[in-house]
């Protein structure tokens, strides 16, 4: 049975007050809070088995290695990868996308094309622009309509033998829109031999991921948005693709042999994990997956969708409010503005005085803001520990902001 109070009791940070008010944390699309079980595992690593991995024969090194590789296998099951060595530890989604853009450099030439969408985070725009600068390739962008929904007729028009990469997010961080990834992948497979990259930063925390069923070539996500420490993330890549592509960083851990005459590279996953990893964070990522598993991903999705539906219904009762992507299929996010009350940060500051944490601004998605001709939005984003009572406090705070700013 879903017990919200039992869940909340596992997040000690939620017990505090901010500006004299009980904390209402609604900035989960930026980063989630961490349950005590995750923090305990992280602390246990540093207080009991702190050692470098894969390199030592002594007991602590072996214990640390075992725990980190166990975490890798947990990630494998979490996303249903075929092999554990297809799971690469990274610092987060941004590093994963940059890694992919770098190792695909040799696969592109002048006038080849990369397709992304209007809904992308800057992390899924800038690395591809840099790749275009390196190779002479061209960037093509799937547009959106007034509801923020991707216009896939343009994808049909764009796909050709020139298409080498298609990279889109599964869920928009700014609007919470769930994109039709299965349809995008099917269209791409039918009309090109392009590499398919999926940004799962905003989907992995909210619903079940199955990379084999999706049949994507790469899938990236961040640990810190799904109850794990910051500085953790995952790059999934198909075995045959990762084996055929060059390394990203050079250094320790990623070599098989090294001499001044030349170097040979280690096999997967170590080929892409140069240097000392974030061992404690990676182990704690496994603990975060355990937490999600105990609550149940279906239960999390059902609760968060109910929160979103309730929040939208309550907010729309406020006069002169604009919710972006209101009619689209969404998860975890309501992004809005109070028309005629100035910039979104003014609303955010008033909410903060009431102990309510939301995100304001362009959310690293300036093209979306340009499309709607706005500077930014107020974004409330939900996690498993949020409550309907907190939504009521948000609505009360928005009404107060409207009175003060209107």
Helix and strand element counts for the chain (H, E):
14, 17
Cα–Cα distance measured from residue 85 to residue 66, given in angstroms and rounded to the nearest whole number: 14
Active site residue 258: no
Cβ-based burial of 39 (10 A; exposed 0-12, middle 13-18, buried ≥19):
middle
Nearest to 93 by CA among 116, 118, 127, 119: 127
> What sign does the CA torsion over 251, 233, 23, 393 have?
positive
- How far apart CA 230 and CA 95 sit, in angstroms, is 13
Q: How far is CA 52 from CA 58, 100, 235, 253, in A?
A: 10, 26, 21, 11
State the catalytic residue, choosing from 132, 216, 258, 364: 364
Cα–Cα distance for residue pair 94/97, rounded to 1 Å: 5
Length of the chain: 406
Instruction: Give CA separation, 365 vs 47, 117, 266, in Å.
Output: 40, 11, 37
**167: phi then psi, degrees, rounded to nearest 5:** -130, 115
CA–CA distance from 333 to each of 180, 222, 397 (Å)?
A: 17, 17, 17
Query: In the structure encoding, which two tokens stand for residue 354, read together?
Result: 């009431």
Task: Give the separation between CA 18 and CA 24, rounded to whole angstroms.
Answer: 9
- Which residues have C-beta within 8 Å of that of residue 237, sequence separation ≥ 6? 86, 88, 100, 217, 218
Please give the positions annotated as active site: 364
């Amino acid at each position: 049975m879903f017990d919200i109070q039992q869940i909340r009791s596992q997040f000690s940070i939620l017990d505090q007050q901010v500006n004299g008010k009980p904390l209402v944390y609604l900035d989960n699309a930026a980063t989630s809070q961490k349950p005590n079980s995750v923090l305990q595992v992280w602390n246990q690593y540093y207080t009991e088995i702190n050692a470098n991995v894969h390199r030592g024969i002594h007991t602590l090194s072996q214990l640390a290695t075992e725990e980190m590789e166990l975490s890798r296998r947990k990630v494998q099951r979490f996303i249903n990868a075929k092999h554990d060595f297809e799971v690469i530890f990274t610092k987060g989604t941004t590093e994963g996308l940059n890694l992919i853009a770098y190792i695909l450099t040799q696969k592109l030439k002048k006038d080849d094309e990369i397709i992304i969408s209007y809904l992308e985070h800057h992390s899924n725009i800038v690395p591809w622009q840099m790749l275009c600068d390196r190779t002479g390739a061209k960037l093509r962008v799937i547009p959106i309509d007034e509801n923020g929904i991707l216009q896939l007729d343009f994808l049909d028009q764009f796909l050709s033998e020139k298409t080498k990469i298609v990279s889109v997010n599964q869920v928009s961080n700014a609007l919470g829109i769930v994109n039709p990834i299965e349809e995008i992948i099917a269209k791409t497979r039918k009309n090109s031999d392009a590499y398919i990259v999926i940004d799962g930063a905003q989907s992995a925390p909210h619903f079940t991921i199955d990379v084999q069923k999706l049949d994507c070539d790469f899938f990236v996500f961040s640990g810190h948005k799904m109850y794990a420490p910051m500085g953790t993330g995952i790059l999934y890549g198909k075995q045959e693709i990762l084996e055929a592509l060059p390394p990203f960083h050079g250094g320790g851990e990623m070599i098989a042999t090294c001499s001044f005459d030349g170097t040979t590279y280690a096999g997967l996953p170590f080929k892409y994990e140069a240097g000392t990893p974030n061992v404690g964070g990676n182990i704690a990522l496994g603990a975060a997956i355990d937490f999600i598993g105990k609550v149940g991903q279906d239960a999390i999705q059902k609760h968060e969708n109910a929160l979103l539906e309730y929040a939208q219904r309550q907010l729309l009762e406020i006069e002169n409010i604009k919710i972006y992507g209101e009619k689209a299929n969404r998860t975890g996010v309501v992004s809005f503005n109070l028309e005629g009350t100035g910039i979104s940060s003014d609303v955010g500051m008033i909410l903060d005085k009431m102990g309510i944490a939301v995100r304001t601004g362009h959310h690293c998605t300036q093209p979306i803001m340009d499309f709607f001709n706005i500077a930014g939005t107020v974004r409330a984003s939900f996690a498993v520990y949020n409550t309907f009572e907190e939504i009521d406090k948000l609505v009360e705070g928005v009404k107060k902001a409207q009175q003060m700013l209107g």
